[in-house]
Structure 1
């Protein structure tokens, strides 16, 4: 199997080492503290991310789950520093990466972090790749810009990357263009680009969207293998609980811009402590329910310019009570590594 060659240090006179310390074994690699993002629109202010906190350690996979519009991708874009401003504005919180707040870094310094320390795999590989450049040129450019290697060496490293993500005939296909690859192969190229500079943390935003289930499994297995091989942190954004069952360590469930539950993956599947999470689990197709109607969560997510008072989920919640309509539930500590933003989390967890 082809592996990465050792990358050279940045040449003298270049940007030099980035000012980050290595976290200890028990310290988060990435930690969000009460992050908030607003979109200022003609219809009002939409708080797309409302006080989100989570942490990821080296070698850990955190899955961020929720329906479209729950704030998953906006949170990731805020971490990467690629929000469209305006209309988006980070209005509060911290994004701590290796102990430093990315939100306070100068623009040039933060740009250097992207790729070298933090990388992102985007949802639509065809749109993210440049259609007029070969995939080898796009991969090799990263080595030329960041490490000053020759074009020949950059092309050789591009081939090695393509081999590593299991693109058949990489040497023959390095000159091909994005449209000449299948959806699954394009996603592998995106993974290769994200890993080119061996970042400490990768954010994968819906990496299996529009792929068939067999290819989905292959892509997820590849990501998990690379995460273990390079001991990198992985944030996996998805709306599909079935995709993350075998690869995630911890799951954070988002609804209306807020974290409503966090739990180790096994605990969340065994006994969800929030009605929204329970609804998501019940809507996952199962082989033992063939022929049965697939349950669905009734209603639609709220308009973020007019989020309901109390618990944002209460208009759709099958167990909502009066307090849910008036009082916003805090994130209750279920146990040492679990939280739930539900007034009645104990009843939900126990299946009552």
Structure 2
């Protein structure tokens, strides 16, 4: 019997978000009309090359953009239906950590180097929950144990530099989940880690997502990470989402030439010993985004209309897919 219940309402609903930076070279539109949503217990992967706007979007959602030079110029960021962009900073600060949290890619920079990790974790409970120092310390050790840091009680007295990269990332995850947030944004959480440690970190995040029924936004450029971890994917290029789809549908039949290029350039067993495909050219500077489709200078399908008209987000069957490509049908049918 199929479940006829409607899907849960979005936990996070980003609508037409726009962020720009004022630079010496002009205005850089780092985020140019991004829309996506995440439901409780769901993982959305935001995928794209460096500079595509993935992290800037996340920082705008969290309210941690450096302003100036960054400025949100349009759109809405709805969390449980409330627009975060209209809230006073004091209220957004209360939401961060307690109901929405972020794991950064550089744990060593994000952690305080002159505080023990136990004290940093304990501070979450004293500041946000009013816990006593003794209770907070005990909760910190429990968290370290929860994210599988060996000898947690002893290691709580150590400083961040005394941990390996993988262990520091576990500490960052412990801090992010300390107050059991409803939304977790993980920004390149496995960068610079070896493959085995990457898999352990992603397994841990998946386990925590299920345990707390968190919505998760996973920001990455790693197609391998996405395949195992995500429910849906949003592919970004030059500040826009160019394709969004359920993960398996996108891998089997991409509907945008950029997505096709990313998939073709990923190493795999079937290509062992062969030459890897590379998308020609480089992403545009955000102060000089080409007219029309920003991907057209690198696209094998580009035609005159691609050079002049920005493609809208076309609905792609079945329901729940979109592609910002004038010729998405041709790409979808190009099964290799």
**Could you tell me the TM-score, scaled by structure 1's length?**
0.92
Counterpart among 10, 16, 32 of residue 28 in structure 1: 10
Secondary structure at the aligned position of 2:9 is classed as coil
2:122 matched to which residue of 1?
Answer: 140
Counterpart among 317, 320, 327 of residue 337 in structure 1: 320
State whether structure 2 residue 226 is matched by structure 1 residue 244: yes
2:43 matched to which residue of 1?
Answer: 61
Contact 2:8 2:40 in 1 (8 A): no
State whether structure 2 residue 245 is matched by structure 1 residue 263: yes
2:3 matched to which residue of 1?
Answer: none
Secondary structure at the aligned position of 1:308 is classed as coil
Secondary structure at the aligned position of 2:255 is classed as coil
Secondary structure at the aligned position of 2:141 is classed as helix
Quote the offset at 1:147 in angstroms.
1.0
Secondary structure at the aligned position of 1:253 is classed as strand
Q: Deviations over 1:66-100 (max 9, x none)?
A: 00000000000000000000000000000000010
What does 1:41-56 correspond to in 2, within 5 Å?
41-56=23-38
Once residues 199 and 136 of structure 2 are traced to their aligned partners in structure 1, the CA distance between those partners, rounded to angstroms, is 30
State whether structure 2 residue 112 is matched by structure 1 residue 122: no
Runs ≥4 residues deviating over 4 A: none
Once residues 248 and 213 of structure 1 are traced to their aligned partners in structure 2, the CA distance between those partners, rounded to angstroms, is 18
Quote the offset at 1:172 in angstroms.
1.2
1:318 matched to which residue of 2?
Answer: 300
1:152 matched to which residue of 2?
Answer: 134
Quote the offset at 1:346 in angstroms.
0.6
Secondary structure at the aligned position of 1:26 is classed as coil
State whether structure 2 residue 152 is matched by structure 1 residue 170: yes
2:334 matched to which residue of 1?
Answer: 351
Q: Deviations over 1:261-284 (max 9, x none)?
A: 000000000000000001111111
Counterpart among 211, 218, 226 of residue 208 in structure 2: 226
2:56 matched to which residue of 1?
Answer: 74
Counterpart among 170, 175, 191 of residue 188 in structure 1: 170
Counterpart among 247, 269, 285 of residue 287 in structure 1: 269
Once residues 191 and 89 of structure 2 are traced to their aligned partners in structure 1, the CA distance between those partners, rounded to angstroms, is 31
Quote the offset at 1:288 in angstroms.
1.9
Quote the offset at 1:25 in angstroms.
5.1
What does 1:83-94 correspond to in 2, within 5 Å?
83-94=65-76
The total of aligned residue pairs comes to 329
Secondary structure at the aligned position of 1:245 is classed as helix
1:97 matched to which residue of 2?
Answer: 79
Q: What 5-or-longer segments of structure 2 have no aligned partner?
A: 1-5
Once residues 7 and 293 of structure 2 are traced to their aligned partners in structure 1, the CA distance between those partners, rounded to angstroms, is 36
Secondary structure at the aligned position of 2:228 is classed as coil
Once residues 38 and 44 of structure 1 are traced to their aligned partners in structure 2, the CA distance between those partners, rounded to angstroms, is 10
Once residues 209 and 332 of structure 2 are traced to their aligned partners in structure 1, the CA distance between those partners, rounded to angstroms, is 31
**Could you tell me the TM-score, scaled by structure 2's length?**
0.97
Quote the offset at 1:143 in angstroms.
0.1
Once residues 38 and 111 of structure 1 are traced to their aligned partners in structure 2, the CA distance between those partners, rounded to angstroms, is 22
2:186 matched to which residue of 1?
Answer: 204
Once residues 108 and 36 of structure 1 are traced to their aligned partners in structure 2, the CA distance between those partners, rounded to angstroms, is 23
Q: Deviations over 1:102-149 (max 9, x none)?
A: 000011111101001110000100000000000000000010011111
Quote the offset at 1:35 in angstroms.
0.2
Q: Which moved more, 1:25-34 or 1:184-193?
A: 25-34
Quote the offset at 1:26 in angstroms.
2.1
RMSD: 0.9
